Amino acid sequence: MTFISFGISRMAWMASPVLVGLLLVAAPQLAAAATSEVTVKIANFTFSPADLTITPGTTVTWVNNDDIPHAVVETEKTFRSKALDTDDKFSFTFTNPGEFSYFCSLHPHMTGKITVKK
Ligand SMILES: [Cu+2]
């Protein structure tokens, strides 16, 4: 009995620095992810801002302020909205670094870019 409880407490003692280390590594990233939200307006057939740089974990929300429908489609189909009517929104959370070019599938001359930098 004494031997078993000694074994468990020793395991817990060995594991705790690892757990604390994991929390220290994970906590700042969770906090950053929770606070990063950016809006891209769609108005007058233009994405605004059309060129946006963010960090991983950021959620971008597109809002259609025009009186006609628009859609947001990434060139390599990383994300794709349905047709957005007036005041409709579409959100995508970027987890990986990279450049993401997108356009409106209804008006392909409307283009924008999201750059995700570490
Ligand atoms: Cu459009």
pLDDT recorded at residue 19: 39
SS3 for 18-62, per residue?
Answer: HHHHHHHHHHHHHHHHHHCEEEEEEECCEEECCEEEECCCEEEEE
The rounded Å distance from CA 107 to ligand 1 centre is: 4
The rounded Å distance from CA 29 to ligand 1 centre is: 35
pLDDT recorded at residue 35: 61
- Show me where the domains of the chain are located: 1-35, 37-116
Residues with CB under 5 A from ligand 1 (ion): 70, 104, 106-107
pLDDT tens sequence across 4-46: 444 444 444 454 444 344 444 544 445 444 469 999 999 999 9
Which top CATH class is 37-116?
A: mainly beta
The rounded Å distance from CA 35 to ligand 1 centre is: 29
